[in-house]
């Protein structure tokens, strides 16, 4: 019976160990961007630390195996459980050492997790378990635990509990293993009473942390964003935070500002109207991204528009901006308009099966700060877009800042050209972002900027439009390579350009 209990603990231990690794990787990706770099470096650090922990485990004396196993379970549960909440607090209030704290926590948890399995195997071996069967059963349950949490984490835990509560949940599981082990092996432990007390204290602390995690996270985010948080949500794809200060509503995705209600009209008027006002009577419009409905609000100003298809990956995003009164007031209820169809799919995958042609395609995706987003700015992606654009249609792509990220901006233009488009770069000043860039494109090379607008606008007019297409010397074109899937040049350009700005 005791051997079966130890084997079962391997399943829980493996689940917890991988969960802490996934939480750290996801949180680093949310806060720092570049998910490939964050996950790769964290996995490397974690595996190295596990190797260190396995090495250290040999120094534990045979007569102390059970007691030290229980102590390690409590330690890994405590450190792993509080890790996400601690990292949120450090990032919000003491941003400078965030990476140091992140990798220190990953290393400590990795060392402790690396000690667990060797200790369990030594305990079982001391109980005269057959070695071949011992290795087979331990590794089987180890791998099953990893599979279990790798499926559960993205589909259930992260979207339903959030990262902080998920970490506390697995901390509770580790402490629970320690508590059960104390009870099951109390006759073999020299200090069972004191270990039971420690296990109870750690378990209570972790349960309290689980119950209070959302409050602590919101408090830390309040320090990060400064303004009152009116909505915060972790989805399977991103972290959404909406803040409010007086009349200013702001949306942040993974900590990055997406818009401010005080000046978003500049961005969205520049995104939509130079294209749509140049078309004689746009009827079918496709929006890739734009789940906030603000671009759709501008598109629906044109009486000729019969249908708008919005393809946004995250249903939580479109649901929020279709239902929340503060936000529907901002987008004019655009996502609930009967002419609007919402599709919650990956834009690239959706384009592969799409058959309809569109008079205008508006690409309003987040900046290419990761390889997952970079593929949506790639040459193959734009070739798919070209197939769905009507012969006389127009395409617009939000393209980051030509001033702060010039190589990234002109890379978008070069990629569109490599995909067969004629491009017409332009830029607009948006106070929340500074100079921001867009690329307008067609397939025939006939585009002319509008000389008047028949719809009601707050900022854009013919005189302003002429200036949008003029680039001063400090934003002039630079030579860069197109963004192809095998190299993802755009992501590198973006990271390097913006690193110079924030350094």
As annotated, the active-site residues are 364
Query: CB–CB of 167/36 below 8 Å?
Result: no
Q: How many CA atoms lie within 13 A of 370 on its CB side?
A: 22
Q: CA 69 to CA 189: how far, in whole Å?
A: 11
The DSSP 8-state label assigned to residue 156 in this structure reads I
Helix (H, G, I), strand (E, B) or coil at 331: helix
Over its C-alpha atoms, the chain yields an Rg (Å, rounded) of 27
Q: CA 40 to CA 51: how far, in whole Å?
A: 17
| CA separation, residue 276 to residues 178, 284, 338 (Å) | 64, 11, 20
- Which stretches does DSSP call E strand in 120-260? 228-234, 239-245, 248-253, 256-260
Query: CB–CB of 191/204 below 8 Å?
Result: no
Query: CB–CB of 42/56 below 8 Å?
Result: no
Structure tokens at 373: 């987003």
Query: CB–CB of 5/180 below 8 Å?
Result: yes
Q: CA 401 to CA 438: how far, in whole Å?
A: 8
DSSP count for the chain of H helices, then E strands: 17, 11
């Amino acid at each position: 019976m005791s051997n079966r209990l130890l084997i079962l603990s391997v399943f829980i231990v493996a689940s917890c160990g991988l969960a802490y690794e996934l939480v750290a990787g996801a949180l680093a990706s949310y806060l720092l961007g570049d998910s490939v770099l964050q996950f790769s470096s964290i996995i490397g650090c974690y595996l190295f630390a596990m190797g260190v922990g396995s090495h250290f485990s040999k120094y534990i004396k045979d007569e102390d195996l059970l007691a030290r196993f229980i102590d390690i379970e409590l330690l890994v549960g405590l450190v792993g459980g509080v890790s996400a909440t601690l990292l949120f607090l450090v990032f919000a209030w003491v941003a400078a050492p965030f990476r140091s704290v992140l990798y220190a926590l990953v290393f400590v948890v990795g060392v402790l997790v690396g000690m667990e399995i060797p200790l369990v195997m030594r305990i079982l071996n001391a109980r005269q378990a057959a070695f071949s069967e011992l290795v087979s059963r331990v590794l089987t349950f180890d791998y099953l635990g990893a599979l279990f949490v790798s499926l559960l984490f993205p589909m259930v835990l992260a979207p339903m509990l959030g990262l902080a509560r998920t970490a506390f949940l697995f901390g509770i599981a580790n402490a629970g293993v320690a508590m059960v082990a104390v009870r099951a092996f109390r006759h073999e432990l020299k200090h069972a009473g004191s270990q039971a007390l420690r296990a109870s204290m750690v378990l209570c602390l972790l349960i309290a942390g689980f119950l209070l995690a959302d409050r602590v996270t919101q408090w830390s985010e309040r320090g990060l964003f400064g303004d009152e948080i009116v909505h915060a949500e972790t989805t399977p794809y991103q972290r959404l935070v909406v803040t409010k200060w007086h009349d200013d509503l702001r949306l942040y995705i993974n900590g990055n500002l997406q818009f401010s209600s005080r000046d978003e009209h500049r961005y969205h008027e520049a995104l939509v109207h130079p294209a749509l006002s140049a078309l004689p009577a746009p009827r079918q419009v496709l929006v890739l991204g734009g789940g906030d409905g603000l671009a759709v609000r501008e598109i629906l100003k044109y009486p000729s528009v019969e249908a708008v298809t919005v393809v946004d990956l995250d249903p939580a995003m479109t649901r929020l901006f279709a239902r929340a009164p503060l936000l529907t007031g901002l987008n004019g209820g655009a996502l609930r308009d009967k002419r609007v169809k919402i599709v919650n799919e990956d834009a690239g995958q959706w384009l592969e099966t799409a058959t309809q042609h569109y008079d205008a395609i508006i690409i309003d995706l987040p900046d290419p700060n990761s390889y997952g987003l970079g593929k949506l700015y790639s040459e193959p992606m734009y070739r798919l877009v070209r197939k769905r654009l009507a012969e006389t249609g127009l395409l617009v792509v939000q393209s980051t800042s030509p001033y702060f990220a010039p190589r990234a901006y002109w890379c978008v233009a070069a990629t569109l050209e490599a995909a067969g488009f004629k491009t017409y770069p332009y830029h607009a000043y948006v106070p929340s972002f500074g100079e921001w860039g867009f690329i307008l494109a067609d397939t025939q090379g006939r585009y002319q900027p509008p000389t008047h607008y028949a719809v009601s606008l707050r900022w854009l007019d013919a005189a302003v439009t002429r200036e949008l297409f003029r680039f001063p010397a400090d934003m002039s074109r630079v030579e860069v390579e197109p963004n192809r899937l095998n190299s993802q040049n755009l992501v590198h350009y973006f990271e390097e350009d913006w690193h110079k700005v924030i350094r």
